Amino acid sequence: MSTVQILENVQNFMNRSHGHFIHGKTVQNTHESRINIINPATEQRVATIADADQATVDQAVKSAHDAFVNAWASVSPYERSLKLNKLADLVEQHSEELAQLETLTSGKLIMISRHLEVAQTVIFLRHFASCATKIHGQTIQPSLPSMQGEKYTAVTLRQPVGVVAGIIPWNFSLMIGAWKIGSALTTGCTIVVKPSEFTSLSLLRLAELALKAGIPAGVINVVTGTGKTGQYLIDSPLVKKISFTGSVPTGISIGKQAMHNDLKRVSLELGGKNAAAILPDVSIDEILPLLIQSTFVHQGQVCAAPERFFVHQSKYDEFVEKAAQILKQLKIGSPLDESVVFGPLSNQPHFEKVKHYLKMAQDQIITGGHVIDTQGYFVEPTLVKVENIEDPLFIEETFGPIVTVIPFENEVELISMMNHSRFGLSASIWSNDLSKVFRLIPQIEAGSIWVNMHTFLDPAVPFGGVKASGVGREFSDAFIDDYTELKSVMIRY
């Protein structure tokens, strides 16, 4: 066992009396109530944060608006790119500190915090930095009739929408925060970020690093608080776009609220009940290690991770037996122990939700299914068989380490069962039969499809859901539409 020593600056940061980060400074509004930040591995309080009220949100939004008009608008695309790259450098230099903050507040394994959360934050920031100089309109030849020899031409401009509100879930605060910050800043927008009330510390620290990177005060603001704080942000007239990542019910409520606010722009990255289809040609021994790793990363608390396995009936018994063997051997324990591969759930309400599903699954459990009798929010990685596709365990997103498995007979049945879901975030097909794979891909209702892999996000590849899994796309250059207004100009000469 090798347990990580908490850095002195991490300890000092947690001990601070945290406020909000507004216009380059920590702002404390002493009348606001405090929210406890709990380490999910120990159930101990490690810090407190402020619960922003309306006045604080207004202050943050005004700061972002002033910075949009007076500071960021005059920063050239090239300079925006340099500053985002500088921020990426600073995140890299402070990677251990940020990784520890994430692990202490989200229960993410330290190796995942280091090599996924923080490392990907750097990679994504650099991707967004590279986009700043590539945002452009078009030149168009209109078809208007020319009566007296006049000519016409048209151009389109892309202009930043203005102040963006980024609302973030608790599973990958820093990385998802960087998606919103990077998208906003590279397109010339400014942002107010509201992290989850469970995991706000890493983004508060990132905002400080942004100032060091030369990003002007007010361009990035962070307000902490609950859903109410998010609602104040959506209602603020100076906020022109909401970029939300979180659950479907919250997403629907935010979408409605945004529409009531004069059709405010909104992009929604929501939940999933993602399918992994295991076709008859694969070797179960070959695919299982990667499939299990992609499924149970961060204890299954990953929006794109699979929660439904579909296994061809010829391989079903072998799959179930071997998957159970691997799951039984996963070492469960402290996320600060570098040898552990399965840590706690991230927070108490989520622990209660997962326990509810475990109870529901009791008669169907293949392996796992228990709450671990110790301090912290620990449960076993669990595989559950389902016989009926109306089973709530097959239908509802658990967002935890509970995966259902069901056999299929042929591809028609497979597609019908895979698409039997209100969600459509991601799916995977495990097969070396390319002809079959390419015939299945267009039939699957999901925004991302992986072949012989699952849960891999890359900044160059668009990401987002269909059906109730969301509206809009992140990454690549697909995000640019959502953060800019397209203005058309027609000229007669």
Which residues here bind ligand NAD, judged by CB under 6 A?
167-171, 194, 196-197, 226-227, 230-231, 245-247, 250, 253-254, 269-272, 303, 397, 399, 425, 465, 470
Least CB distance to ligand NAD at residue 428 (A): 16
**Residue among 344, 342, 300 nearest 43 (CA):** 344
Least CB distance to ligand NAD at residue 431 (A): 25
Tokens found for residue 186: 């590279």
Q: What strands lie across the sheet with 365-367, from one edge to the other?
A: 365-367, 382-385, 402-408, 306-312, 274-278, 426-430, 448-451
Contact present, 229 and 165 (Cβ < 8 Å):
no
To the query of whether residue 380 is one of the catalytic residues in this protein, the response is no
Residue with tokens 């397109």: 187
Least CB distance to ligand NAD at residue 63 (A): 20
Tokens found for residue 290: 């990667």
Contact present, 178 and 207 (Cβ < 8 Å):
no
Least CB distance to ligand NAD at residue 25 (A): 22
Task: Closer to ligand NAD by CB, 197 or 380: give it.
Answer: 197
Rounded-to-integer distance, Cα 451 and Cα 457, Å: 13
Least CB distance to ligand NAD at residue 452 (A): 22
Task: Closer to ligand NAD by CB, 94 or 194: give it.
Answer: 194
Annotated catalytic residue within 97, 117, 197, 269: 269
Task: Closer to ligand NAD by CB, 102 or 397: give it.
Answer: 397
The dihedrals phi and psi of 132, each to the nearest 5 degrees, come to -55, -40
Residue with tokens 């995991």: 199
Least CB distance to ligand NAD at residue 250 (A): 3
Least CB distance to ligand NAD at residue 272 (A): 6
End-to-end CA distance of the chain: 76
Least CB distance to ligand NAD at residue 331 (A): 25
Q: Which whole-number Å values give the CA distances from 412 to 14, 308, 315, 389, in the listed order? A: 54, 17, 18, 15
To the query of whether residue 131 is one of the catalytic residues in this protein, the response is no
Using CB atoms, what's the residue nearest to ligand NAD?
230
Task: Closer to ligand NAD by CB, 213 or 254: give it.
Answer: 254
Task: Closer to ligand NAD by CB, 80 or 240: give it.
Answer: 240
Annotated catalytic residue within 303, 307, 380, 397: 303
Sign of the torsion formed by the C-alpha atoms of 256, 257, 262 and 264: negative
Task: Closer to ligand NAD by CB, 72 or 170: give it.
Answer: 170
What secondary structure letter does DSSP report for 371?
A: B
Rounded-to-integer distance, Cα 23 and Cα 3, Å: 38
Tell me the pairing of strands 402-408 and 382-385.
Answer: parallel
Task: Closer to ligand NAD by CB, 386 or 457: give it.
Answer: 457
Task: Closer to ligand NAD by CB, 77 or 227: give it.
Answer: 227
Contact present, 408 and 312 (Cβ < 8 Å):
yes
Q: What strands lie across the sheet with 20-22, from one edge to the other?
A: 25-27, 20-22, 220-222, 190-194, 163-167, 239-245, 265-269, 470-471
From its phi and psi, is residue 407 left (phi > 0), alpha (psi between -120 and 50) or beta?
Answer: beta
Residues recognised as catalytic: 269, 303
